[in-house]
Amino acid sequence: MKFWMAAVLGAVQGVAEFLPISSSGHLSLLQYFFGMEEPDALYNILLHFATLLAVCVVYRRDIAGMIVEFFRLLAALFSGEGRRERGNPPEARRMILLLILGTLPLFLVLPIEGLVEDLGSSPVFVALMLLVTGCVLFLSDRYGGGRKDGRTATVKDVLLVGLAQGMATIPGLSRSGTTISAGMALGFDRGFAVRFSFLLSLPAVLGATLLKVVKVAQAGALDTERLPMYLAGMAIAGVVGYFSISLVKLLADKGKFGSFAYYCWIVGAAALAGSFLYTPAGA
């Protein structure tokens, strides 16, 4: 992999990971139609870690609040004061529980992880899923949005958003688009739907990253000679990711989150047509 390719992949990761346009779908289509080199295992891990850091920077206050409340909860439980606060816990403490519950549906995907990843090899399937993503985004602005927040969202709400996140492991379905749209459809405040979606990505991305690190280490695929190039790509992914999150927050607040639907429809339709007209080299 050359430096410019590492930079391009970093920028693509930073944009597509957070904008509701499916990073996995775009990577699959770029590889099929343009022969773009797939990042090796180590670089793929580092790119996802960079976008994870971008979420941590944007929502640093929420994360800091949850960390503090986690230790306060432990202290209250050991001191016997936890029962007194059970009826009206602080929002940050409640968010910890909501994020744990929202992550649980991902375990349903683990047994079929390989099958789901294989779906990305079909440009027709990915194109169709991008069209579906466009429909989901289009409807989100028209039928979504409410007043629920971290204090009023229910267990059922977050489990359904978690199921949406599990479904979004399918290549072509946007994780952010699906989870934010699901939240708004369930009555989440638009700002809270975005915030919960990105915070929900943290345990998912961190868990997947740790699993991949173990696999790469076991396979002996750690190439430290490319580390400087990879670090540059990580920086690009992180910075671009930071501004991508800010853009999603801005458009959602203004009720224009569904604007991304048109992009997904255009790319999906073009990919669908191209899959019938284009034959990749070596096929």
Compute how many other C-beta atoms are within 10 angstroms of the C-beta atom of residue 28.
26
The pLDDT of residue 80 = 65
Look at residue 210 and tell me whether its pLDDT is greater than 70: yes
Average per-residue pLDDT for the chain: 87
CA 267 to chain centre: 19
What pLDDT digit, counting tens, does each position of 40-59 carry? 767 877 888 899 999 999 99
Token readout for 77 is: 């439980």
What mean pLDDT comes out for the span 69-76?
86
Split at pLDDT 50, 70, 90, the class of 117 is confident
What pLDDT digit, counting tens, does each position of 132-159 carry? 999 999 998 888 778 999 999 999 999 9
Cα–Cα distance between 155 and 150 in angstroms, integer? 11
Tell me the Ramachandran region of residue 145: left when phi exceeds 0, alpha when psi lies from -120 to 50, beta otherwise.
left
What mean pLDDT comes out for the span 27-52?
80
Query: Which of 139, 172, 140, 178 shows the shortest CA–CA distance to 160?
Result: 178
Look at residue 283 and tell me whether its pLDDT is greater than 70: no
Look at residue 201 and tell me whether its pLDDT is greater than 80: yes
**Phi, psi values for residue 151, rounded to 5°:** -90, -25
**Phi, psi values for residue 150, rounded to 5°:** -65, -20
Token readout for 148 is: 């629920």
Coil/strand/helix, residue 170: coil
Token readout for 271 is: 């990919």
Q: Could you tell me where the DSSP H helices lie in the chain?
A: 3-16, 23-34, 41-58, 60-79, 82-85, 91-103, 113-118, 123-143, 155-167, 175-185, 190-219, 227-253, 260-277
> Higher-confidence residue: 268 or 78?
268
Look at residue 264 and tell me whether its pLDDT is greater than 80: yes
The pLDDT of residue 83 = 55
Q: 259 exposed, middle or buried (CB, 10 Å; 0-12, 13-18, 19+)?
A: middle
Of 21-25, 56-60, 85-89, 91-95, the poorest mean pLDDT is in 85-89
Strand partners, 15: none
Amino acid at 131: L
Tell me the Ramachandran region of residue 148: left when phi exceeds 0, alpha when psi lies from -120 to 50, beta otherwise.
beta
The pLDDT of residue 77 = 78
The pLDDT of residue 226 = 75
Compute how many other C-beta atoms are within 10 angstroms of the C-beta atom of residue 65.
17
| Contact call for residues 57 and 241 (beta carbons, < 8 A) | no
Specify which of 21-25, 87-91, 256-260, 267-271 reaches the highest per-range mean pLDDT: 267-271
Look at residue 108 and tell me whether its pLDDT is greater than 80: yes
Strand partners, 239: none
The pLDDT of residue 86 = 58
DSSP symbol at 81: -
> Higher-confidence residue: 282 or 40?
40
Strand partners, 148: 188
